Amino acid sequence: MATTSKARQREVFESMYSVIALLFILVACVEVLDAATVVDVYRLIQYDLAGVPFGSRLASLNHHAGSSLFSPGTDLSRTVLVLPVRELNITFIREFIGQRQPLGGLLLLLPRIFSSENRGSMGGADQNSGKELMRNILMELERLLIHANIPYPVYFAFEDDNIDSVLADVKKNDATGQPATATTGGYKLVVSAPEPKKLISPTMINIQGWLPGLKADGDSNQLPTIAIVASYDTFGAAPALSVGSDSNGSGVVALLEIARLFSILYSNPKTTGRYNLLFGLTSGGPYNYNGTHKWLQSFDQRLRESIDYAICLNSIGSWENELWIHVSKPPENAYIKQIFEGFSNVAEELGLKVGLKHKKINISNPRVAWEHEQFSRLRVTAATLSELSVAPELLESTGGLFESRHFVSEAAIIRSVKLVAESLARHIYSHHGKNIKIFADDSSLAINPSYITSWIDLLSRTPRVAPFLSKNDPFIMALKEELADFTVDVNLQHESLDGIFTFYDTTSARLNVYQVASVTFDLLLLLVLGSYLIILFSFLVITTRGLDDLISLFRRPPSRKAKTA
């Protein structure tokens, strides 16, 4: 008896539990909410080239998210497309932008490995080939976006868990049928940014430092000068992401290391050479080396004539075994021959290859492809050392999106530094043709790999688009301090960027992702609530006053008339 009653009790309890469980399941189904996500986004550059507008012309964004271009006939003018770059069809994008189709906005998701916070190891060969592919896609995309006039806002963001889940939801939504608009709900992407304003008189800052040589006794002539120059600023599709690890972060690092090595040599009068060394970190590189031009213009004639030759370092961070020396004087020229022989001798000893490329300057053409051409135009012998074999076009190879830290190897920079420093030293101390290693690996003059790594890491984190660098930007101050540690007479030269470029501000912003309910949902909710209240009303009237009262509520006054009658 007791057991049966207990069993019955248990049954009752179990049924109760199932009811409660059902209720909870019903309630739990409702629980699909997540709070607003905030993502850092980087705007596509907006600039005018000789008055012709390029880049993204808008900054503020307030539209629903969509994930696919492939929906013919639908109006995308109120949709923000969210496209991961890894799945991007570049030809399709080109067509889309080329046809100037209306779009609410474009959010491009860059793979995590391009994020400057992400500095993982290089991974396997398989991953490397993937990266190489990615790099090519980004290069294409960047070229496309920089040279297009896009009438809607374009932003870049890095993939992360939040945005990935949003994207997955949006894709699911798109797959089920209609793309999200105001009536179907989904996600709303909001960037509240003011109208981009023109940057008034953007400045370029050149940094220079000297290592003075020692005159021989009784020599009254001015000492000759050797200039080592690298341009440090960048240009890319997203100014806030243009860190330019290779172009020209590698050159800057090499310059600093060379300055460090020679400062050790020049600190002792016995090893001070009979040459002045001039180190120049120039700005305006992407804009036909405008900063280099201004810098050279500021020199007086005597100084300019005292420059024996100048070595410009450009993109020397990712080469395997061949570097190029670019010159604009014919190779038969004695000075050029001397420089080239100096380099190729050292290269041979180091097991490297150095090639010579000659490209004539066309004075009437405003394009200056290499930094040394600015020197050559002023009749100063100069050469550019670079891993690029062909002169880049305007706004190319200037440190864009694809130049992440992963594509630069310290080993390549170290090799370049060794090559330049060694051949310079042989020239300075007249050891031509002698196999003397001044900067041998285990001597006190060895190249410091950790110094190179730390600087290339810093450069790979710092966007350096000149117009967006303020006058006393901490990065420029850091460069100045660093150069001042090794050289004397360090000074900054502020120049205004002249010419045909106009830039607009707002390079980065914060994107708010809201999950929004649709109007139909609200209408439906209103309907449900209305019926709930009506049912409640009817229920209460019936239980407290009876059914007749409820019916009489809806009956019209005729009943009263009938009463009076």
Partner 1 sequence: MTVFHFFNCAILTFGPHAVYYSATPLSEYDTIGTSVKAALVYLLTALVKLVCLATFLNVSENDSFDPYQELLKALIGFIDVAGLYFALTQLTHRNISQNHKFQAVGLGWAFADSVLHRLAPLWVGARGLEFTWDYILQGLEANANLVLCISLAALGSLMWLRKNKPKTLIPIIYACAGIVATMPSITSYLRRGLGWHFPKVVGFELFTSLVMAFISWQLFAACQRPST
Which residue among 2, 3, 5, 26 contacts partner 1 (CB under 8 A)? 26
User: Does residue 21 belong to the site contacting partner 1 (CB under 8 A)?
Assistant: no
Among 304, 449, 494, 463, residue whose Cα is nearest residue 399:
463
User: Does residue 517 belong to the site contacting partner 1 (CB under 8 A)?
Assistant: yes
Report how far apart, in Å, the C-alpha atoms of 27 and of each of 18, 148, 442 are.
14, 50, 71
User: Does residue 1 belong to the site contacting partner 1 (CB under 8 A)?
Assistant: no
Among 318, 486, 338, residue whose Cα is nearest residue 408:
318
User: Does residue 38 belong to the site contacting partner 1 (CB under 8 A)?
Assistant: no
User: Does residue 175 belong to the site contacting partner 1 (CB under 8 A)?
Assistant: no
Order of strands across the sheet with 46-49? 149-150, 52-56, 46-49, 501-503
State the alpha helices, DSSP H only, in 232-367.
251-266, 290-298, 301-306, 334-350
Of 264 and 533, which CB lies nearer to partner 1 in the complex structure?
A: 533
Q: Are the CB atoms for 64 and 103 separated by under 8 Å? A: no
Which residue among 436, 519, 547, 551 contacts partner 1 (CB under 8 A)? 519
User: Does residue 20 belong to the site contacting partner 1 (CB under 8 A)?
Assistant: yes
Residue 227, C-beta contacts closer than 8 angstroms, at least 6 positions apart: 277, 278, 279, 280, 307, 309, 310, 311, 375, 382
Of 182 and 438, which CB lies nearer to partner 1 in the complex structure?
A: 182
User: Does residue 545 belong to the site contacting partner 1 (CB under 8 A)?
Assistant: yes
Of 139 and 190, which CB lies nearer to partner 1 in the complex structure?
A: 190
Q: What angle do CA 481, 482, 485 make, to 5 degrees?
A: 85
User: Does residue 60 belong to the site contacting partner 1 (CB under 8 A)?
Assistant: no
Which residue among 7, 12, 28, 551 contacts partner 1 (CB under 8 A)? 28
Reduced to 3 states (helix: H, G, I; strand: E, B; else coil), residue 490 is strand
User: Does residue 182 belong to the site contacting partner 1 (CB under 8 A)?
Assistant: yes
Task: Write out the two tokens for 118.
Answer: 């992400």
Q: In this chain, which stretch among 27-35, 66-74, 271-279, 328-336 interacts with partner 1, using CB under 8 A?
A: 27-35
Which residue among 10, 11, 18, 24 contacts partner 1 (CB under 8 A)? 24
User: Does residue 529 belong to the site contacting partner 1 (CB under 8 A)?
Assistant: yes
Q: Are the CB atoms for 282 and 275 separated by under 8 Å? A: no
Q: In this chain, which stretch among 105-113, 270-278, 491-499, 537-545 interacts with partner 1, using CB under 8 A?
A: 537-545
What part of residues 186-215 is at the interface with partner 1 (CB under 8 A)? 188, 190
Which residue bears the tokens 């200037």? 398
User: Does residue 442 belong to the site contacting partner 1 (CB under 8 A)?
Assistant: no
Which residue among 333, 338, 453, 515 contacts partner 1 (CB under 8 A)? 515
Which residue among 1, 3, 4, 35 contacts partner 1 (CB under 8 A)? 35
Taking the complex as a whole, the smallest distance from the CB of residue 77 to partner 1 amounts, in Å, to: 20
Taking the complex as a whole, the smallest distance from the CB of residue 494 to partner 1 amounts, in Å, to: 44
Q: In this structure, how many other beta carbons lie within 10 angstroms of the beta carbon of residue 63?
A: 24
User: Does residue 547 belong to the site contacting partner 1 (CB under 8 A)?
Assistant: no
Task: Write out the two tokens for 240.
Answer: 């806030």
Which residue among 12, 23, 436, 488 contacts partner 1 (CB under 8 A)? 23
Taking the complex as a whole, the smallest distance from the CB of residue 39 to partner 1 amounts, in Å, to: 14
Which residue among 540, 548, 551, 555 contacts partner 1 (CB under 8 A)? 540
Handedness of CA 74, 79, 85, 87 (dihedral sign): negative
Can you tell me the distance from the alpha carbon of 170 to that of 178, in angstroms, rounded to the nearest whole number?
11
Residue 185, C-beta contacts closer than 8 angstroms, at least 6 positions apart: 516, 517, 518, 520, 521
Q: In this chain, which stretch among 47-55, 163-171, 300-308, 528-536 interacts with partner 1, using CB under 8 A?
A: 528-536
Q: In this structure, how many other beta carbons lie within 10 angstroms of the beta carbon of residue 349?
A: 14
Which residue among 38, 440, 446, 536 contacts partner 1 (CB under 8 A)? 536
User: Does residue 522 belong to the site contacting partner 1 (CB under 8 A)?
Assistant: yes
The bridge status of strand 149-150 relative to strand 52-56 is: parallel
Reduced to 3 states (helix: H, G, I; strand: E, B; else coil), residue 67 is coil
Q: In this chain, which stretch among 197-205, 370-378, 394-402, 524-532 interacts with partner 1, using CB under 8 A?
A: 524-532
What part of residues 335-394 is at the interface with partner 1 (CB under 8 A)? none
Can you tell me the distance from the alpha carbon of 303 to that of 282, in angstroms, rounded to the nearest whole number?
18
Reduced to 3 states (helix: H, G, I; strand: E, B; else coil), residue 171 is helix
**Count of positions on this chain that bind partner 1 (CB under 8 A):** 37
Which residue among 38, 133, 446, 525 contacts partner 1 (CB under 8 A)? 525
Residues that bind partner 1 (CB under 8 A): 20, 23-24, 26-28, 30-33, 35-36, 182, 185, 188, 190, 512, 514-519, 522, 525-526, 529-530, 532-533, 536-538, 540-541, 544-545
